[in-house]
Every structure is written in structure tokens, then in C-alpha cells.
Amino acid sequence: MSRVWNFSAGPAALPEEVLRQAAEEMLDWHGSGMGVMEMSHRGKEFTAIAAQAEVDLRTLLAVPDDYRILFMQGGAIAENAIIPMNLMGDKRVADYVVTGSWTQKSQKEARKYAEVNIAATSEASGFTTVPPVTDWKLSADPAYVFTCTNETIDGVEYPFEPDLAQIGRGEVPVVADMSSHILSRVIDVSKYGLIFGGAQKNIGPAGLTIVIVREDLLGRAMPHCPSAFDYKTVADNGSMYNTPPTYAIYIAGLVFQWLKRQGGVAAIEAQNIAKAKLLYDFLDSSDFYENRVDPACRSRMNVPFFLKDEALNEAFLAAAKAAGLVQLRGHKSVGGMRASIYNAMPLAGVQALVDFMRDFAARKA
């Protein structure tokens, strides 16, 4: 069997160790005589799997006791509607900090359910940076402030955790879409009212959405919010109000256990820093490639780059594929290339990419 180096932005590579364990357990999970995909979500076998996954995630992120962890469906895109339907309460306005393609989509969706104030935007820079909190202009009484702390498409990552106390607004809940960097770095969950993310980047297969929400934000859903998307209903039913994405939760649980064996989030963050440095250092030293993101706000997870002669793009992608390096084409909205180097991508994979890029430049320059 030959495995490629998969730089996909999501669905993304999973740890080989996890895939092998899942393969071994496919037909018979722990002597139950059935695979996880065949289990009742209310049976003792699966409820044990889900409970352990929640415990492990809570441990990995040091989630405080007054936060609930929800296993939901619909992906991060659905959360763009589910969040205002749950958090607006009796408020009228929600504030959004727009730092790239995903927050652009998020604020547009939210306008169906609330008035939206753009508290800050980096559009003028081409979405290459993050406005400091001191530049955010919050509305008088927002229900929440929405952020995307790692923009998957644009390769921009917050170099700080938003602290609204800096501008005297510490009472306003911060919502963070962390889809593409959750579990890649140590965070202080208590700084956020709600954290969410699609699983298909650092957690597991597509189909599962993780929501971490502070308990005091439950019970505010709009009357027309579907019951399956009402955070309080989901929390009160232990994420089992409707049939959850059982196999995706199982794989996520295996990934959480794998992360713990690596030494936890702090240990994986150190690896991610080393991987990102290797790739960015090469890009910065090259006259053939370029990264356009403010160095202070560069993503460790998603590294967009451009060939200075874009006529060579297709040749680059074809040669990369032949070398076993795949999914490097940039998002259609921005073009160029993108290497997503999530937790499951080892340093050896990034080194293989850098070696290929150096060789390709030498041959084409």
C-alpha cells in the first residue's frame, strides 16, 4: 500500500494509527459482534463511545465545568444560521469581525436572523491580517461578537485570543469558528461564549460538528429554531435528541485518544510550530514562490502560496501529484496553492513538500 502526502483543506488526512485501529474494529467493536456504524445510538456500546469522546475532548481543551460539549450535524456552514437562532434572545444586533472568506459567508447568513454590525474588517488589506481588538467598533448592545480565528481559505490566524475586556466590553460573548485549527494549539476556552468547528480538518471525518457553549447561553433560541438545532434541547438530551453522526463521533474519539498519546494539545502545538516554520521559512527565502499574509497573522494550519509565474501552476500540480503530494490547489476564490498541514501531517510530509518545491523551482527558474 502506498500512501500519499495529503495536503487537503478538508476532508483532510487522519492519523494512520487511527485509521488502522478503525479498520481492525470495523466488523467487531470490542467483542460486541458488530461495527460502530451498526450500533444503536442509544445502546450501551455507543453511549460509552460518545461519553468517552466527550471526556477526552474536555480534558484536551481544559473545558470548564460550566460549558457543555455538543455533538451536532450540519457543519460549520449550518452553524452560521444556528448560532443567531440560538444566541440572539431578546437582542437585535450581532457583531461580526470579518477577516476572510468564511466570516464573509457567516455575516451574510446571519443577516437572515439579525441585524449585523461589522465591528471590524481586514478587507482593505485583501484579508491578509487580523484587526486588533482595540480597533473593533462594537454596537451598543450586541448579542455576541462573531470571529473566525483561523480562516482556512485565506491562511489568516488570530495571533491573540479576543479579550473584549480590553475595550471595556467583557460582558459580550465571543463566538469563534475554530473549524480549521481547533486542537492544534492551546486555547483558553473561558475567553469564549461559544466555540464551534466542523470535524473534517483536525478531528475526524465530515458529518460531525463540535459545539462548546457556556451554559448561561442556553435557552435563548428563537421560537422558529428547529428543535434539533436548539442548543438547550441538544444539551438536555446529551446530543442524542436525534440520531447523531455515530461513526464520525467514534473516529473523533480515536483521534482524541491519539492526541493524548502524543502528549496533548501543548505537545502537538510544538510540532505544528515546527512544521509551519519549515514551510514559511522556505517560502520567505524563495524568489519563485510567495506568501502574501502578514507574517504576524500567518496560519499554522493553512498555508496559501503563489508561484510568481502562475503560468506554471498546472505543471506544478501535475509534478507534485507524480511525487505523491496531493490536494495542493488553492481555493477557487483566491487561486494559487494551499498546503493544509493539520495535526495528522507529520514533519516529514512538510519536508517532502519543501524538497519538491525547491527542486521544481530549480528546474523551472
The confidence score (pLDDT) of residue 167 equals: 96
DSSP secondary-structure letter at 329? B
Active site residue 191: no
- At residue 62, does pLDDT exceed 70? yes
The residues of the chain that CATH labels 3.90.1150.10 are: 264-363
The answer to whether 63 and 69 have CB atoms below 8 angstroms apart is: yes
Which grid cell sits at 45? 456500546
List 29, 102, 136, 258, catalytic entry: 102
List 95, 154, 177, 230, catalytic entry: 177
**Annotated binding site for pyridoxal 5'-phosphate, which residues?**
102, 152, 177, 200, 242-243
pLDDT band at 2 (very low <50, low <70, confident <90, very high): confident
Q: What is the pLDDT of residues 39-53, one digit of tens each?
A: 999 999 999 999 999
Q: What is the pLDDT of residues 343-359, one digit of tens each?
A: 999 999 999 999 999 99
Q: How many residues does the chain have?
A: 365
Residue type, 46: F
* Helices and strands in the chain: count of H runs, count of E runs: 9, 14
Q: What is the pLDDT of residues 120-130, one digit of tens each?
A: 999 999 999 99
Task: Report the percent of the chain where pLDDT is more than 70.
Answer: 100
- At residue 214, does pLDDT exceed 80? yes
DSSP secondary-structure letter at 162? -
The answer to whether 275 and 38 have CB atoms below 8 angstroms apart is: no
Asked: is 17-261 a CATH 3.40.640.10 domain? The reply is yes
Active site residue 112: no
The confidence score (pLDDT) of residue 365 equals: 79
Average pLDDT (318-327) is 98
What distance in Å separates the CA atoms of residue 137 and residue 103, rounded to the nearest whole number? Answer: 16
DSSP secondary-structure letter at 298? B
Average pLDDT, the chain: 97
- At residue 23, does pLDDT exceed 70? yes
Architecture of domain 264-363: Alpha-Beta Complex (3.90)
The confidence score (pLDDT) of residue 1 equals: 64
Q: What is the pLDDT of residues 250-296, one digit of tens each?
A: 999 999 999 999 999 999 999 999 999 999 999 999 999 999 999 99
Q: Which residues of 328-363 are buried (b: 16+ CB within 10 A; e: fewer)?
A: bbbbeebebbbbbbbbbbbeebbebbbebbeebbee
What distance in Å separates the CA atoms of residue 6 and residue 305, rounded to the nearest whole number? Answer: 16
Task: Report the percent of the chain where pLDDT is more than 90.
Answer: 99
- At residue 71, does pLDDT exceed 80? yes
For residues 365 and 148, the model is more confident at 148
The residues of the chain that CATH labels 3.40.640.10 are: 17-261
List 5, 95, 154, 201, catalytic entry: 201
Query: Which candidate, 37, 18, 33, 75, places its Cα nearest to that of 247?
Result: 37
**Annotated binding site for L-glutamate, which residues?**
42
Active site residue 275: no
**Annotated binding site, which residues?**
42, 102, 152, 177, 200, 242-243
Is pTM beyond 0.95? Reply is yes
Q: What is the pLDDT of residues 79-101, one digit of tens each?
A: 999 999 999 999 999 999 999 99
